[in-house]
Amino acid sequence: MDKLIIEGDHRLKGEVTISGAKNALLPILAATLLTEEPCNIEGAPRLRDTQTMIKILRSLGKSVDFQDGRICVRHTKKTRWIADYRLVSTMRASFCVLGPLLAKLKKAKVSLPGGCVIGVRPVDLHLKGLSSLGADIDINSGYVLGKTKGLCGNHIFLEGEFGSSVLATANVMMAGTLASGTTTIEGAACEPEVVDLAEFLIKMGAEIKGAGTPIIEIRGKKLLYGATHKIIPDRIEAGTFMIASLITKGELKLKNVNWRHFGAVIDKLEQAGAWIKKSEHCLVIKARAQLKPVNITTLPYPGFPTDMQAQMMALMAVTPGVSIITEKVYPDRFMHIAELNRMGTRIKREGPYAIVEGVKRLSGAKVMASDLRASASLILAGLAARAKTQILRIYHLERGYDNLEGKLRSVGAKIRRHKV
Ligand code: EPZ
């Protein structure tokens, strides 16, 4: 297992190119199961999760090559319909092969993904949606067993108590593309990654209207074709670098961004006092003067993204004043608080609320990453801390950031990886 060692207190200055979006790529790779024709996905980030989804596609009979950011998926005669626990349990997103397998093969056996440190993460909405399309769903020994004589379109309300579900929307939308008749998803997730998936499906010949709104209509087809598609930029990586710029009082130019995908993050950082200049595919950000505390509530898109909550907490932790962070998507997504407090932050959790009292300086410390975005939060705090910070268990980071430490080093961060 590796660890990262960061020597803090260095301003970041320079240019960073943002990679393709993990959360767009993963369901799009699952969508290649809907056709026997070749698919080419460009702008794919080099992540552990990318490799996991590629392994799952190979276990389901696809031939997959990945080089220079391009993933080529080809059909083989060895089609399988079982996605096993060994792979699915390491990455929740693999559950979104269920819809495509049911639609294309009319049967599927997919391991339940289990929970993770950010929450229980149920799949009831996925199963409700797919059952509404006529799938017989059974749960046995930790697996979902699904079968159907042929999926039929239906009108489905897909919101849960925490609002819309990104991957449940993806699963049902993909299943609807080969169902007979029309499927309407009411309470659909509106995230840009859902829109990117819909655009890929439309290139494959699917008929989809309303992606990006709470009502998506899919008119089923008999067949889908191969397609080529370039993944949208990763808005969470972009937001992470925006905070890296502010927390080190530096100035960064981000290239390959679509700033229209993260208006809530830009709005909050401008409220806090950041200077932000946007152009077509770039964004420049720096801290004007002393930042001010802002309150954050995470919500489904277009609200403030839960995947930026931990990173924003690190910034507020060194911003004089008090800010309140309310986590409405995953109320338990606060594993990073204890580790940040080891670095001298003053953060108190009260249920789904974190009360953050900004401090002047952080001290470096040995801390432990617990999940993907918590890892990013600890790195951001380490960049601002005096002296050295050591971050253990950084395998979490590699799941969702493409060479984060290399990109940070290229703009002046003193950060290096050590074998433990
Ligand atoms: C996607 O997860 C993202 N992952 C998550 O990013 C992100 O945090 C999340 O959406 C919310 O934006 C990928 O896209 C691969 P949800 P997903 O279903 O789809 C509840 C990261 O760091 N829910 O939108 O699994 C759920 O518990 C990851 O990149 C149900 O109740 O999340 C949560 O409270 C972490 N029943 C809320 O809905 C269900 O069947 C939203 O979850 C499904 C979800």
Grouping H, G, I as helix, E, B as strand and the rest as coil, residue 118 is coil
Verify whether ligand 1 is closer than 6 Å to residue 92 (CB atom): yes
The confidence score (pLDDT) of residue 289 equals 81
Q: 57 and 95 share a domain? A: yes
What is the average pLDDT across 31-51?
A: 97
The confidence score (pLDDT) of residue 64 equals 98
Give yes or no for a contact between 133 and 151, defined as CB atoms under 8 angstroms apart: yes
Q: 64 and 98 share a domain? A: yes
Last residue of a domain, one of 211, 230, 249: 230
Report which protein residue has its CA nearest ligand 1's atom 26. Answer: 121
The confidence score (pLDDT) of residue 115 equals 64
**Count of domains for the chain:** 2
User: What residues are labeled active site?
Assistant: 116
Ligand 1 mean position to 84 CA, how many Å?
A: 21
Q: 333 and 373 share a domain? A: yes
pLDDT score of 316 more than 80: yes
User: Mean of the per-residue pLDDT values for the chain?
Assistant: 96
Pairing of strands 39-42, 346-350: unpaired
Verify whether ligand 1 is closer than 6 Å to residue 50 (CB atom): no
Ligand 1 mean position to 416 CA, how many Å?
A: 31
Verify whether ligand 1 is closer than 6 Å to residue 377 (CB atom): no
Which amino acid is located at 199 in the chain?
A: E
The parent domain of residue 247 ranges over 2-19+233-419
Verify whether ligand 1 is closer than 6 Å to residue 188 (CB atom): no
Q: 207 and 178 share a domain? A: yes
Q: 175 and 242 share a domain? A: no
Q: 217 and 356 share a domain? A: no
Last residue of a domain, one of 196, 214, 230: 230
Write out the E strands in 86-200. Answer: 107-111, 136-140, 143-147, 155-157, 182-186
Verify whether ligand 1 is closer than 6 Å to residue 162 (CB atom): yes
- Is this prediction's pTM over 0.85? yes
Which CATH number goes with the domain that contains 177? 3.65.10.10
Q: 132 and 198 share a domain? A: yes
Report which protein residue has its CA nearest ligand 1's atom 5. Answer: 307
Verify whether ligand 1 is closer than 6 Å to residue 23 (CB atom): yes
Ligand 1 mean position to 167 CA, how many Å?
A: 7
- What number does the ligand 1 atom closest to the CA of 400 have? 29
Q: Which of 19, 166, 190 to mutate to test the pocket of ligand 1 (most atoms within 8 A of CB)?
A: 166
pLDDT tens string 333-390: 999 999 999 999 999 999 999 999 999 999 989 999 999 999 999 999 999 998 899 9
Last residue of a domain, one of 180, 210, 230: 230
Q: 322 and 370 share a domain? A: yes
What is the average pLDDT across 279-307?
A: 96
What is the average pLDDT across 125-145?
A: 96
The confidence score (pLDDT) of residue 132 equals 98
Q: How far apart are CA 50 and CA 222, in angstroms?
A: 29
Percent share of the chain, pLDDT over 70: 100
pLDDT tens string 70-127: 999 999 999 999 998 888 888 999 999 999 999 999 999 999 986 677 887 899 999 9
pLDDT tens string 194-230: 999 999 999 999 999 999 999 999 999 999 999 999 9
Q: 49 and 188 share a domain? A: yes
Q: 209 and 268 share a domain? A: no
Ligand 1 mean position to 148 CA, how many Å?
A: 26
Q: 372 and 415 share a domain? A: yes
Least confident of 24-33, 244-253, 285-294: 285-294
Give yes or no for a contact between 318 and 341, defined as CB atoms under 8 angstroms apart: no
pLDDT tens string 267-279: 999 999 999 999 9
Phi, psi at residue 266, to the nearest 5°? -60, -45
Verify whether ligand 1 is closer than 6 Å to residue 212 (CB atom): no
Q: 117 and 144 share a domain? A: yes
What is the average pLDDT across 398-415?
A: 97
